[in-house]
Structure 1
Amino acid sequence: MHTRIPPTRPVIAIIGSTGTGKSQLAIELATRFKGEIINCDAVQMYQGLPIITNKVTTEEQHGIPHHLLGCIGLEEPTWTVGQFVPHAMAIIEQIRGRGRLPILVGGTHYYIQSLLVKDSIVGNDQTGQPELLDPALDQPTEVLLQKLREVDPIMAERWHPNERRKIQRSLEIWLRTGTKASDIYAAQKEPPNASPSPSNITSLSSDDESPLRYEALLFWMYTDKDTLRARLDERVHQMVSAGLVSEVESMHDFRNQQELQGKEVDVTRGIWVSIGFKEFAEYRAAIAAGRTGPDVQKLKDEAIMRTQSATKQYAKRQIRWIEYKFLNAMVRSKAKHNIFVLNSSLTTAWHDCVRKPAEVVTEMFLGASSVLPEASEIFEQSQELLTPKGEDLSHSRHRWQKRTCDNCRITATTTEEWEKHIGSNRHRKVLAGIAKRQRLETERGLNISL
């Protein structure tokens, strides 16, 4: 158990991948502890489209106030961290003013991390819906790399010329914020008494020396891999039965209406890259054209499989963000002991494995209890799960040491990454293939000379 002082400005945060029951727990805790919920899911901020965005319905909300849910138009780009954090901070203060408990919930983990941790300057390159790149980033890789060399030579030097996605992301940070990615990472390493930049968001924490803005209790909703994959596959079938294709059609109608008014809709950004829209585009077009028969059914089956695959990949990215980014941020903030893993693998055991332990820990956190239980007392696998899977290199810029394996066409940025690569099966197979080709060429040369 950990000795603590009861919080004066508490916040509850619920994280986890899609399909783990985050919204349900948030509503239960809000009901029990007089809370209000702040949505921290980028896609659920869009108006309408309850199926594609997987929003909780009005009935499911049970009268609990929800904020930042369905609040932006379909034509708008996804909110950046710089937009989300100040809005959420203002809402937290409004909730406090009503004497209620702010509860953060959502799968856009870089929103929650940036809101809770003062020095958390994160990009959305490892999680969330497939990201909506600026059209300027669709140019050939060599053009993008040259532009990055001009605006941020430090980051350009870090990446291999073939690492298009990483080059895009570094350039995107500059395009979106006007600040170089290398400067952002350097700012994260400034000593605590360094002068803050004018763009820094003012902290609302009662303790300005704390790395956290708020006194936070966090619940990680965890579902074992096989159960989650099956659950997500089934959810896609449920979405189709509930009218997913009709929502896709409504999005096309909205786009057509906007274009008739002379307003161009950028379908490479925002809600237009949400999972389900593009996967069902071909099937929707076939239905709209009045086509029927086995070929159309095949299109539907393929759309379902693509949506299932994309959803599972999305969940995997969400979990990786927690494992590599979020947990490291909590360790740096000395707040790891305030994270509790709840096992939502068995829906039939929800009360005993999720709701009851969450209510018990929350009551201890909010009340006069001077200690919180160990996470392993709530879920025995917690110690393993709450150990970061690797280092967050954005906070270890001093250890960047670029080495490029031209044979495998990859770049390692630390000694550990390089040693891991050269000892990998992939590297050995590539070298074996090169040696085999060289041997065959030598033998052919000898045969020709004979």
Structure 2
Amino acid sequence: MMAAVRRVPVVVILGATGTGKSKLSIELGQHFNGEIISADSMQMYKGLDIITNKVTKEEQAQCPHHLLSVLSPLSMNNTVQDFRTLALPIMENLLHENKMAIIVGGTNYYIEALLWNFLIDEQTVGLVQQSSTNTKPELQSCGMQENHAAAGPGKARSAYSSDTNAASERVLSSPESSESDSQNNEDESASLNAGSGAAASDSFSVSAEHSSTEDRERDGGKTSQVQSSEARREKEGKYAGMDIIHLHSLLQEVDPQSAERLHPKNRRKIVRALQVFDNYGVAMSKIHQAQHISGNTTGLSGALRYPHCCIFWLQSEQNVLYERLDKRVDDMLKNGLMSELHDLHKHYLDSIAAQNGSPDYTLGIFQSIGFKEFHQYLILPPEKRETEEGKALFQQGLEGLKLATRQYARKQLKWIKNRFLKRPGVHVPAVYSLDSTDPSQWSDNVLQPAVDIISALLDSREIPVSPMNPDTLPGTLHVHNVCEVCDGRVFTTLDQWQAHLGSRRHKKMQESKRRKEKAAGLAQPTPDKNESKCVQ
């Protein structure tokens, strides 16, 4: 009797830069005869091995790697959809050959795009359109205009939005991540690197698809705000210059569910939802509903694309990680980082000059951490680089680079917690924590536990290690609450709402309101209606 073919799991390795993700992926690939899929937006560019901190040629020879060095460094429009289009056939081929696919990289949003079906595509749009009838009320209930009912996605685009900027014609995606209590709309799909020589090899990068222009302006002081503003206007198309209140009211008209779900100050996602409606003639919320129905789930992103999957989260103590980050920057400088940056900058300027264009440092590889921090130094004439001004700008870039790596490491951790551990629904793989703080204990604390877990999955045995419990973390249940005490501030997730009610600012505003009411002669101050309020 033939032995049953073992089900090979899809393995995902997460972690802040410098925790050892690439090291673990190579070791697991060798042990289980697997292959590695790099999910790093900046490592997809050819060359630039130092700035993106790719695994070395020798390391690549130890285990097959995919999606490294596949784009021109001057390519500016690579998106998460492009990555998914390239990665999915590789995944399918590996699974067909019963080989283990090991997904590793710092662009966590790319990893999400492989694990879950949340990117909007024309097939899903077609399902929504087919489910609609030609009666106007029903069409309006799903956000579709009557004259778009019989149109395909292309016709719907031209019928509704012929004047929409071409930049908005891209397929758009919108997983609805939560806002912080301070209302900062920060994208955390940033990836950067650090670590010892044996640690992870991530790129110092910001995801080209998922990093908003507003974030680049905030991160930057090093890139031109004028250029960033121009890029934002181009990306927003006809919505550029519109007041955020007006944009939110437009969204309420065409897609009330998304309008309630998104924070009214989240300009980027509001514009994106409007552009989805412009492009396809259907509400983004209805497209998401169709994805959930097709996957028989109500979770954030529908069913898992690969149900037989496990996730490893490598973690290191913060002080140890920060030391690795600083050492990594020093090592990169010794290995020729500045020469690589100079060569890229000159190559780019020569290319732009040949096209009679003007440089734009807000796109593609120029978003990478390293280039931004040294930008002012790089644009100095060569004869000024050894002057006091040049030395000061170099030191400023070096300090900025080390600071940026720490900031983005924190963002990576926040993204993992919010988008993997706290992801609602049942279609979330088990996440196993591995402690990579002490390199001398790597085998006992990281490699062997990972091997044991995968071996148990292969043999359909009980997993010897308990996964992390998502219930121990605050939930991200979507709600829509308005704080009447704090001038109508809006909160769109339950954990933010509860944190706000307990915050010093809210309590201070509450006490101030009560004092004013008492001074005005009210015998009974108005109770705080927010205490028991929670609108889902």
Asked if Structure 1 and Structure 2 have the same fold, meaning a TM-score greater than 0.5 normalized by the shorter chain, the answer is yes
Map of 1:427 onto structure 2:
506
Which residue, 480, 488, 491 being the options, matches 1:401? 480
How far the C-alpha of 1:431 sits from its partner, in A, is 6.6
Q: Tell me which residue corresponds to 1:257.
A: 350
Q: Is the 8 A contact 2:263 2:492 kept in 1?
A: no
Distance, in Å, in 2 between the alignment partners of 1:30 and 1:319 is: 24
State whether residues 212 and 333 of structure 1, in contact with CA within 8 Å, keep that contact through their aligned partners in structure 2.
Answer: no
* Stretches of structure 2 lacking an aligned partner (at least 5 in a row): 120-173, 178-186, 191-205, 214-230, 518-536
Instruction: Tell me the SS of whatever aligns to 1:309.
Output: helix
Decide which of 274, 279, 282 is 2:368's aligned counterpart: 274
Instruction: Choose which of 122, 125, 139 in structure 1 pairs with 2:175.
Output: 122
Matched residue, 2:107:
108
Does structure 1 conserve the Cα–Cα contact (< 8 Å) formed by 2:307 and 2:429? no
Deviations 1:371-392 (A, max 9, x none): 211337xxxxx55xx5563334
**Residues of 2 paired with 1:60 and 1:6: CA distance?**
30
Q: Work out whether 1:225 is the aligned partner of 2:318.
A: yes
1:216 and 2:309 correspond: yes
Q: Does structure 2 retain, via aligned residues, the 8 Å contact 1:160–1:404?
A: no
- What whole-Å deviation, never above 9, does each CA across 1:262-293 have from its counterpart, x for those lacking one? 16654222221111111111122347243324
Give the CA RMSD over aligned residues: 3.6
Task: Describe the superposition over 1:236-277 as per-residue Cα deviations: whole angstroms up to 9, x where unpaired.
Answer: 222222222222212211221221231665422222111111
After superposition, where does 1:321-360 map in structure 2 within 5 Å? 321-329=415-423, 332-333=426-427, 335-336=429-430, 339-360=431-452
Partners of 2:500 and 2:506 within 8 A in 1: yes
TM-score by length of 1: 0.77
Measured in 2, the distance between the counterparts of 1:220 and 1:356 equals: 14
- Say if 2:87 is the partner of 1:88: yes
Aligned to 2:474: 390
Q: Is the 8 A contact 2:45 2:69 kept in 1?
A: yes
- Structure 2 vs 1, CA of residues 184 and 391 (structure 1 numbering), >3 Å: closer, same or farther? farther
- Larger mean Cα displacement after TM superposition, 212-221 or 125-134: 125-134
Tell me the CA shift for residue 39 of structure 1: 0.6
Name the count of aligned residue pairs.
404
Equivalent position amino acid for 1:104 in 2 = I
Deviations 1:179-231 (A, max 9, x none): 6554455446548559xxxxx9xxxxxxxx96442411221111122222222
The answer to whether the Cα contact below 8 Å between 1:132 and 1:270 also exists between their aligned partners in 2 is no
- Partners of 1:295 and 1:149 in 2: CA distance: 49
Shift of the 288–184 alpha-carbon distance from structure 1 to 2, 3 Å rule, reads farther
| Contact 2:118 2:175 survives alignment (8 Å) | no
Higher-helix-fraction structure: 1
> Quick check: 2:18–2:321 contact (8 Å CA) kept in 1?
yes
Correspondence for 2:407 among 289, 299, 313: 313
1:10 pairs with 2:9? yes
108-117 or 410-419, which moves further after superposition? 410-419
| Aligned-residue offset at 1:160 | 6.2
2:454 alignment counterpart: 362
Unaligned runs of 5+ in 1: 195-199, 201-208, 377-381, 439-450
Aligned to 1:285, which of 379, 388, 392?
A: 379
Q: Which residue of 2 aligns with 1:446?
A: none
Q: Which stretch has the larger CA shift, 25-34 or 299-308?
A: 299-308
> Could you tell me whether the CA contact under 8 Å between 1:11 and 1:215 is conserved in 2?
yes
Q: Once the 2 structures are TM-superposed, how far is the Cα of residue 358 of structure 1 from its aligned partner?
A: 1.7
Q: TM-score, normalised by structure 2?
A: 0.66
